[in-house]
Structure 1
Amino acid sequence: MMPRALCPSGLSVPVGPYSHAVLAGGLIHVSGLLSLDGDGRLVGAGDAVAQARHIFGLLERILAGSGSDLRHVVKLTFFLTDLRDRFALNQVRSEIFDEWRPASTLVQVAGLIGDGTLMEIEAIATLAESPVS
């Protein structure tokens, strides 16, 4: 099966030559997500909890549109401009992943696209018919 680009409705249109997600080999590879609304405006300026919740909401919509859900996330990568925001991020992660804990990597970066953007999250998930066990 050839890789297939996925672009769920309601997300901001990607700027540049990339897709929000790609389905390949039974895995959904989700590009780095920022806390942006459908028009590309920042959601949760200065609030790491609000940004994390919004981004996980976007991830959930992408996965649902791809035939999967958050229970099938196997890897998360977090990019933070300030490592102190990891406490807020961990609070939201604990709410979402209370039983299943995907593999994760956290990286501090000098900056992200957009003023006020505190974090970016990318993910890899399996299709729903390929349960994590």
Structure 2
Amino acid sequence: MKKIVNSEKAPAPIGPYSQAVMAGDTLYVSGQIPINQATGELISGSIQEETHQVMRNLQYILEEAGLSFDHVVKCSIFVKDMGNFVEINQVYGEYFNTQAPARETVEVARLPKDVNVEISCIAVR
């Protein structure tokens, strides 16, 4: 049994997918990019600002499902430039207060809306 999870605080999907899907006790969150839902604005300042917005979008979706970053067991980070790894990693780490989840970081040629970072996650209740 699956349930679609959507937060009005996070950006609406830009394609035929859901923000997240709860299947049993597991939440699968689609990749988030640095769009501020309140303004509709794509954040394109520093890589740190972009990463904070992505993490806030993930947080909004987790909260909508009654979860937090403490429930996250796996993240996937996609970046346009691995040269930004240190800055992204520093911001990302601020959101995990306890044990960090499993993760991979992959450099890709291009991301939706030409952003520099996209992150998805899996969380367990």
Normalising by structure 1, report the TM-score.
Answer: 0.87
Shift of 1:85: 0.9
* Alpha carbons 1:5, 1:22 under 8 Å: kept: yes
2:89 aligned partner: 90
- Corresponding residue for residue 120 of structure 1: 118
Q: Quote how far apart the aligned CAs of 1:16 are.
A: 2.2
Specify every segment of 5 or more residues in structure 1 that has no aligned partner in the other structure, as ranges: 128-133
Match of 1:37 in 2: 36
Q: Number of matched residues?
A: 124
Alignment gaps of 5+ in structure 2: none
Q: Deviations over 1:89-126 (max 9, x none)?
A: 111122222431100011110011114x1000000001
Confirm whether residue 12 of structure 1 aligns to residue 3 of structure 2: no
Q: Matched residues in 2 for 1:98 and 1:4: separation?
A: 28
The one-letter amino acid of 1:100's match is: Q
What is the distance in 2 between the residues matched to 1:51 and 1:42?
Answer: 9
What do you get for the CA RMSD once the two structures are aligned? 1.3
**Deviation at 1:50?**
0.7
Counterpart position of 1:50: 49
Letter in 1 for 2:7: P
How far apart, CA to CA, are the structure 1 residues paired with 2:16 and 2:97?
35
Give the structure with the larger strand fraction. 2
1:19 shift after superposition? 0.2
The structural deviation recorded for 1:23 is: 0.2
Q: Which stretch shifts more, 79-88 or 11-20?
A: 11-20
Deviations 1:33-54 (A, max 9, x none): 00001154211x1411111111
Could you tell me the percent identity over the aligned residues? 34
Whether the 8 Å CA contact 1:46–1:118 is kept in 2: the answer is no
Q: How many Å separate the matches in 2 of 1:37 and 1:95?
A: 19
> 2:113 is paired with a residue of what secondary structure?
coil
Which 4+ stretches in 1 moved above 3 angstroms? none
- Partner of 1:131 in structure 2? none
Secondary structure in structure 2 of the residue aligned to 1:114: helix
